[in-house]
Amino acid sequence: MKKILCSWFLSLFIAQLMLAQGFFPENGPLYIDTVVPRIDITIDPDTLTWIYENPESETEFHAVFVFNNGTVLDTINPVGFRLRGNTSRYSAKKSFKVSLNTFLKGEKYYGVEKINLNGEHNDPTIMRSKVMWDILRKFDVPAPRANHVRLFINGNYHGLYINVEHVDEEFVLSRFGNNDGNLFKCLYPADLDYISSNPNDYKLEAGDRRVYELKTNEESDDYTDLSNLINIVNNAAENHLICQLDEVFNTYDYLKIIAADLYCGDWDGYIYNKNNYYIYHNTATGKMEFIPYDVDNTFGIDWFNIDWATRDIYNWQPEGEPRPLYTRLVDNPELRKQFTFYADALINRAINIDSLIQSIEIRKNMIAPYVADDPFYPLDYGYSYDDFLRSYNESTGAHVKKGLYPYLNERVTSMNAQLENTSMAPVIKYIRHKRESGQQIRITAFVDVQTVAEMVAVLYSLNDGEIQEAEMVHEENGNYAVTLTDISEETKVSYQVRVTDGLEQEQILPCEARIINPATGDTPLLFINELMADNAHVIADEYGVFSDWVEIYNGDSEPVFLGDYFLTDNPDSPNKWQMPDVSIPVGGFELFWADGDPTLGSHHTNFKLSKDGEEVGIFSLQLIALDELVFGVQSEDVSYGRMTDGDTTLVFFTTSTPGSTNAPNSIDETGDLPYLIVYPNPATGQVVKLNRKINARVFNSAGKMMFSGSQISSIDIGKFAPGLYVLVSDDGARVKFMIY
């Protein structure tokens, strides 16, 4: 009964996930920053007047969105449109939110569902937040992408804006490889101070919103993970702080964020103003991640009569106010040294001040014509175009006491003078493991050292026996890996990672050895047989709703009790949803609705499927994988699954069979079927493939034909520019695809 199902694609996918912590998507057409794209919003004039007259409203109104970067020209109709921000709602130059999926289910544009258009009315350079977002990304901090855009509403120029990527489920999925964890939006007065051991006490409100607002998993409304983090931050004994915090929080990446915050003078974030950040529970690691947000009050903008260019990096918080996540880290001797290392690395290695100023100057010259014509630029503080030009070098008013360039130079000088002369112990992070076929276990980790890594090794034991050592090999950019061989599935493995640097300093993490449980007992032949990630019309659930679905098939010789197994869309969270207490007979099928709402019944999962592609798996109570299926971009009402029940060949189905056998005659294998699929989509390589041979033509977004071919099943896109394309078949099938 024991089975082994392996896939080269799955192995590659998992290896990529294990390699490092975060992903850093390219700017792509939407966030291109070598030009200044134009965004047009068309909305009923009376509705626009109402929006301006009701600045606190969160109501989204129908509008038409047009994006034009000179190469890509696209229209989305309708989108949701409203004001965004806090105090900026009452400014003359307002900020806006464009919601692509409010009225069009699942609609995205280059992978994003929301677009934030920030007026930057406080900043005469209209540059500060863009510079900080770029610095964070250069410092390998998962942070939003951003660029300058021109905004027109009903044909009228509303000025130069900064287009900032929205932090939501799509953002965390693109950065961490999962989006099923809790995402908290933390606004004033979110100081992370301890209240009590009751998680519900952290649902406190300020005004008409929660201070720590849960933006995902809202049905569960469970604040246990946030409460646990706050408890450790505030109450862990000093000699246990590092170990306890490392279990629940990505401490070392937050040290990098602190360094960037204090270099950029971000007083409106967590450390000074207990405001403007997100915390995400990364289910791949089990740790909470800190995500910066809203960074326009930076680089010398000041409302407190404080010189942020010279403020002490080790004492940044307001005197007498709790900021435990910052103060406990910089007051801990070991973490303080590591923070010092990252602060030094930022200003003396990651950033060259002359190159930074030169790049800003190039961008300033690029946006200058659009500032000169900006009718809203003068309205809040009386700024003129001359003020814009000199604001990079000079003070421009009561709240802008320094030019951008003087601030940058003064801050580097000040931080260098403040940096303590210390050497940090090695940093070990992103420790991951995976059982592979052939009795192998692959262990990976990322290592930062102040000098050189003399030795990186795994300390491990088998079935609690003698500790053994295996040297890890440096693969690239601080990533180390080792594969332990001849480890049977029935063996329990315990391990830690040890690093020794050139100063003979040693670090061993995690503090408690990580356990890889044995795969004991037989595993039944359960298969993810078929799924549909974009169900619009095929089959409705018991409420008449067309939800996405997953079909399980029992290929074993005995009935299987499903209550002993989990179904998940995240292999790093294998126990995400426990299947109901039902038995599936030999050769039987069970259908589950992947709608993210388990309150609807026993066959409704707590996760949804992504039509952009992801992974689904079945796991035992011991968290051993029984079956895993990776799928790419899906098309509406087309299912994906095994050619025959339990087969290893995966195909698309134009006639899906939810809850019954995958009949061979339902498979989309022939050229006379109407469904047309292009993959991968979006495309980043040299070739896209089709699910059948066709006579094809490809047009760009301007309607120009870019390709024509007969009876082709693939297209060379190596010379195509990034953008949106339409593939048209002679039989009338049409499909859009994107190239990054």
Output the 3-class SS for 347-388. HHHHCCHHHHHHHHHHHHHHHHHHHHCCCCCCCCCCCCHHHH
Question: Does the pLDDT value for residue 543 go beyond 70?
Answer: yes
Whether residues 349 and 441 fall in one domain: no
Q: How many CA atoms lie within 13 A of 502 on its CB side?
A: 7
In this structure, is residue 673 part of a structural domain?
A: no
Question: Does the pLDDT value for residue 671 go beyond 50?
Answer: no
pLDDT of residue 521: 58
Is the overall model pTM greater than 0.85, yes or no? no
pLDDT band per the 50, 70, 90 thresholds, residue 675: low
State mean pLDDT over 439-451.
93
Which of 251-255, 451-455, 724-728 shows the lowest mean pLDDT across its residues? Answer: 724-728
Gap between the terminal Cα atoms of the chain: 45
Q: Which of 418, 448, 480 is the last residue of a domain?
A: 418
In this structure, is residue 563 part of a structural domain?
A: yes
Question: Which has more confidence, 278 or 25?
Answer: 278
In this structure, is residue 26 part of a structural domain?
A: no
pLDDT band per the 50, 70, 90 thresholds, residue 636: confident
Helix (H) or strand (E) holding 332: none
642: domain CATH number is 2.60.40
- Judge if the upstream peptide bond of residue 680 is cis by omega within 30 degrees of 0: yes
Q: Which of 516, 548, 568 is the last residue of a domain?
A: 516
Whether residues 123 and 195 fall in one domain: yes
In this structure, is residue 670 part of a structural domain?
A: no
Whether residues 498 and 555 fall in one domain: no
440: domain CATH number is 2.60.40.10
What are the φ and ψ backbone dihedral angles of 496, each rounded to 5 degrees?
-140, 165
pLDDT tens-digit map of 57-98:
999 999 999 999 999 999 999 999 999 988 889 999 999 999
pLDDT band per the 50, 70, 90 thresholds, residue 726: confident
Whether residues 546 and 616 fall in one domain: yes
Domain count, the chain: 4
Whether residues 494 and 591 fall in one domain: no
Question: Does the pLDDT value for residue 300 go beyond 90?
Answer: yes
Whether residues 342 and 252 fall in one domain: yes
Contact 670, 653 (CB under 8 A): no
In this structure, is residue 32 part of a structural domain?
A: no
pLDDT tens-digit map of 26-42:
899 999 999 999 999 99
* Neighbour-count burial for 355-383, b at 16+ CB within 10 Å, e otherwise: ebeeebeebbeebeebbeebebbeeebeb
698: domain CATH number is 2.60.40.3080
pLDDT band per the 50, 70, 90 thresholds, residue 705: confident
Question: Does the pLDDT value for residue 666 go beyond 50?
Answer: no
Domain limits for position 461: 8-20+429-516
Helix (H) or strand (E) holding 410: helix 404-418
In this structure, is residue 325 part of a structural domain?
A: yes
Whether residues 580 and 451 fall in one domain: no
Whether residues 504 and 602 fall in one domain: no
In this structure, is residue 25 part of a structural domain?
A: no
Contact 682, 738 (CB under 8 A): yes
Distance CA 634, CA 735 (A): 12
pLDDT tens-digit map of 156-208:
999 999 999 999 998 998 898 788 899 999 999 999 999 999 999 999 999 88
Whether residues 209 and 353 fall in one domain: yes
Handedness of CA 194, 196, 201, 203 (dihedral sign): positive
DSSP 720: P
Whether residues 277 and 392 fall in one domain: yes
Return mean pLDDT, the chain. 89
pLDDT of residue 14: 35
Contact 740, 28 (CB under 8 A): yes
In this structure, is residue 521 part of a structural domain?
A: no
Question: Which has more confidence, 606 or 691?
Answer: 606
Q: Which of 388, 418, 448 is the last residue of a domain?
A: 418
pLDDT band per the 50, 70, 90 thresholds, residue 519: low
pLDDT tens-digit map of 8-21:
233 333 333 333 45
Whether residues 251 and 364 fall in one domain: yes
pLDDT of residue 703: 63
Whether residues 393 and 322 fall in one domain: yes
pLDDT tens-digit map of 122-152:
999 999 999 999 999 999 999 999 999 999 9
Q: Which value, in Å, is the radius of gyration of the alpha carbons in the chain?
A: 27
pLDDT band per the 50, 70, 90 thresholds, residue 520: low
State mean pLDDT over 336-364.
97
Distance CA 288, CA 172 (A): 12
